[in-house]
Structure 1
Amino acid sequence: AGIESFTISERRAGHPGRDIDIRLTGDDAFKLKSAATEIVEALKTMPGVSAIEDDLPWGQEQFIFSLTPTGKALGLNVDIIGRQLRAAFDGYLVQLFQDRQDEIEVRVMLPDAERHNLAQLDSLMIILPNGDTTPLSGVVSISTRKGFEVLRHREGQLAVSVSADVDRSVNNNNTIRANIRENFAERLASQYGATMAFQGRAEDQASTIGDLKRGAVFAFAFIYIVLAWVFASYSKPLIVMAVIPFGLVGAIIGHWVMNIELTVLSLFGFFGLSGIVVNDSIILVTFYQKLRASGMQVNTAIAEAACQRLRAVLLTSLTTIAGLTPLLFETSLQAQFLIPMAVTISFGLAFSTVLVLLVMPAFLSVLESIRARVKTQVSGASEVN
């Protein structure tokens, strides 16, 4: 009895916070409540969404006082009325004294029989600025409305948050957010003056992805610099790094096969995958360079490098995949947030390994053909001059 909301939540891996956490800000609490109610009703119609709530609950019935023309003519204002009502019902502090370890307040207020009887409110005497008194009902009009239990603020504005949990086997967080943003953002802004923003997991995820984008630029730049230094070439590092996107394709296929959502941990795994895939390419390209340095023809060297380095490339990839396989089928809660990373590395590596052995020789052949053509044109131009 008396329970208005009862929620049971489970421990979840990943970013802290709720799956759906929408913040609305504005200037009017009642308009914000109406906007939040619309979003709540919309979320209730979406499959897999549960534990929907907002943090602007209705509170107790409130009395709304507004001055009448008579009250204004008598020199009263809202502040004067409010102070006298507070003194009458909450008490006016007249003295503080110490009783050993306790501090005792002495307040003057109406008797309990009058404070707890709303019928006495109309006859409460209000002191006028000139010292006279008049009944409260003669200077104010009283109305009632449902109030709020608590009002929250964000950056100086009233704010309300609508949150919910999502069953990932039924629906997707990002799909729901996109749906809400598309169907509600502009309409709530025009109808209620409410500004919508996503917080919680969505906010943390957006911040993390932004950091990952910057990190990816630096990571790939450093990989290119190291490869250019090792191969003493500006073009061969591009050939080696060309297999990285194929690893991403394999990672996406792996998430689809395992029925796992792409998460931020999946992106972390892609960084590790990039380094492993590059290692496979380095093994092949390095051996190819040695064969070319010994005087072997281009096509013969490419075929020989692919055949001779087949075992080394396969062993490099298979040992990594074998080490990650037990994690793919782990059921403990602690391992759940690591599984997307393991799926990215294992499936991406398996997919890209095959492509390293098939596509990398083709890339090398194209590169050498371009070099030979450019060399021929340059030498021809030199002879003409």
Structure 2
Amino acid sequence: ALELAQSLESLPGVSDMLDDMPFGREQLIYRLTPAAQALGLTTESLGRQLRAAFDGHLAQLVQVGQDELEVRVLLPRAERTRLDVLEQLLIRAPDGSFVPLPTVAHWESQRGFEALRHADGRLAVEVSADINRALSTPDNVREALERELLPRLVKHYGIEYSFEGRAADQRETLGDMRLGLWLGLALIYLILAAVFASWGWPLVVMTAIPLGLIGAIAGHWIMGLDLTLLSLFGLFGLSGIVVNNAIILVSMYHELRETGIEVEAALIAAAVSRLRAMLLTSATTVVGLGPLLFETSLQAQFLIPMAVSLAFGVGFSTILVLVFTPALLSFHESVHFRVAQWWRS
């Protein structure tokens, strides 16, 4: 933890490193000598005798009225407060003989910890720090840690690590969003399939969604922003918005085809007749989000990534829908015609 905290200091924008394992009082750490192992002593048996000497051995319980008193046998208080008593303390060996403590153990003074924390039954320590977003981002710090520092600590100390706190919350949120994405796409498809009475046309309409995602990602690159959790929220909203233009175009094409117009003429007429409506609806959305994109207040910085996803996604998808959706409709009609011919034959 200390090495990790010291290494974090070298990263730009990282400060105020803390861990949840503060140092406590001085402790004596003892280890068995070869002589103790030859006598059959173990760390556990030696520890029990040391505990009995300084904390007391429960000899009996005495009932006094309604109270129960413990009778413990231990060293006198004057001896329990001196370290030199360890040099004179006798330890009982498994064969019944007594040997001096320095013969069977050696000890050293070491600073202990005030508290030990466990996670999933294993000793754990949490290291946290503050990040100045003007100099760096959490993703950049995480990438720097995973690239060099953390693998070195794993190799040297044999530890395991995970990113918790906001990173854990973000992983949980992304898991929920992944489930919500599939449910949302499934519902959009089922609604469109019911409206158009077709299994293929909803797929044509829903191609506007990846087109909008391309625009949103390009918008983050143009604005010099990183994809954040709020950016993903914007992408969720974008998925339901960008299909509107495709629905307008496909609906018009469907009406023209029902009047008996040929495929190519219906595609041209649908694109021309719905061009103004598509451009106006998209332009009003982009213009409405414009002031937020260039807002400089601190409160707006959290919402700008979501606004970028919506504004650039809607604007970019509108242009691409006018090109790709008619082409996909033509392809769909061609495939449908060939399949129908093959089925009849």
TM-score by length of 2: 0.77
Contact 1:153/1:159, CA 8 A, preserved across alignment:
yes
Q: Distance in 2 between matches of 1:241 and 1:153?
A: 48
1:241 deviates by: 1.6
* 1:227 alignment counterpart: 192
Cα shift at 1:282: 0.8
1:364 aligns to what?
326
CA distance in 2, matches of 1:63, 1:373: 82
> Residues 309 and 381 from structure 1, CA distance in 2 versus in 1: closer, same or farther, beyond 3 angstroms?
closer
* Distance apart, 1:273 and its partner CA: 0.9
Which of 278, 285, 294 is equivalent to 2:259?
Answer: 294
Query: CA 1:98/1:269 → structure 2, altered by over 3 Å: closer, same or farther?
Result: farther
* Cα distance in structure 2, aligned partners of 1:260 and 1:175: 13
Q: Is contact 2:211-2:320 (8 Å) kept? A: yes
Q: Secondary structure at the match of 1:226?
A: helix
User: Alpha-carbon deviations, 1:54-107, whole Å to 9, x = none?
Assistant: 33444433212334566667776544543444344445667788999x999887
Identity among equivalent positions (%) equals: 49
**Partners of 1:343 and 1:381 in 2: how far apart?**
47
SS of 2:317 mapped into structure 1: helix
The corresponding residue for 1:317 is 282
How far residue 351 of structure 1 moved from its aligned partner, in angstroms, is: 2.3
User: Could you say if the C-alpha distance between residues 131 and 312 of structure 1 is closer, same or farther in structure 2, counting changes exceeding 3 Å?
Assistant: same
Q: Is the 8 A contact 1:189 1:195 kept in 2?
A: yes
In structure 2, relative to structure 1, the CA distance for the partners of 1:234 and 1:70 (3 Å cut) is closer
Distance in 1 of aligned mates of 2:26 and 2:328: 79
CA distance in 1 between counterparts of 2:193 and 2:35 reads: 88
Give 1:317 shift. Answer: 3.1
Aligned partner of 2:13 among 17, 24, 48: 48
Residues matched between the structures, number: 343
Aligned counterpart, 2:131: 166
Question: Runs in 1 of length 4+ with deviation above 6 angstroms?
Answer: 72-75, 93-100, 102-108, 127-134, 376-382
Write the distance in 2 (CA, Å) between the matches of 1:184 and 1:279: 48
1:107-136: CA deviation from partner (whole Å, max 9, x where unpaired): 765555443333343234556789987654
| Residues 299, 365 of structure 1: 8 Å contact kept | no
Q: Distance in 2 between matches of 1:39 and 1:225?
A: 51
Mapped partners of 1:286, 1:353: distance in 2: 16
Structure 1 residues 352 and 73, CA gap change in structure 2 (3 angstroms): closer
Q: In the alignment, which residue of structure 2 is the partner of 1:11?
A: none
* 8 Å CA contact retained: 1:284, 1:305: yes
2:207 to 239, 242, 247: 242
1:141-156 correspondence runs (5 A): 141-156=106-121
Which residue matches 2:227?
262
Note closer, same or farther for the CA distance 1:108–1:321 as it changes in structure 2 (3 Å cut): farther
Looking at structure 2, the residues matched to 103 and 295 of structure 1 have their Cα atoms a distance apart, in angstroms, of 100
Specify the code of the residue in structure 2 equivalent to 1:227: L
Shift in alpha-carbon separation, 1:150–1:282, aligned structure 2, 3 A? same
Query: 2:30 — aligned with what?
Result: 65
1:261-306 Cα deviation digits (max 9, x unpaired): 3122322221221111111211122122223333445444434333
The answer to whether the Cα contact below 8 Å between 1:247 and 1:351 also exists between their aligned partners in 2 is yes
Unaligned runs of 5+ in 1: 1-35
Tell me which moved more, 299-308 or 233-242: 299-308
What letter matches 1:367 in structure 2?
L
Within the alignment, does 1:202 sit opposite 2:164 as a pair? no
1:166-185 maps to which residues of 2 (within 5 A)? 166-184=131-149
Structure 1 length as normaliser, TM-score? Answer: 0.70
Distance 1:351-1:77 versus aligned 2 partners, 3 A rule: closer
Q: Distance in 2 between matches of 1:315 and 1:99?
A: 91
Out of 217, 236, 250, the residue aligned to residue 182 of structure 2 is 217
| C-alpha spacing 1:375/1:140, structure 2 compared with 1 (3 Å) | closer
* Runs of 5+ consecutive residues of structure 2 not aligned to the other structure: none
Q: Give 1:249's aligned amino acid.
A: I
Deviation at 1:219, TM superposition (A): 2.4
Cα distance in 1, alignment partners of residues 262 and 104 from structure 2: 105
Q: 1:288 to 1:86 in 2, by over 3 A?
A: same
CA distance 1:62–1:381, change in 2 (3 Å)? closer
Amino acid at match of 1:344: S
1:243 shift after superposition? 1.8
Q: How far 1:218 sits from its partner (Å)?
A: 3.1
Q: Bigger relative contact order, structure 1 or 2, given CA contacts below 8 A and separation 6+?
A: 1
Q: Which runs of structure 2 are paired with 1:106-117 in the superposition (5 Å)?
A: 110=75, 112-117=77-82
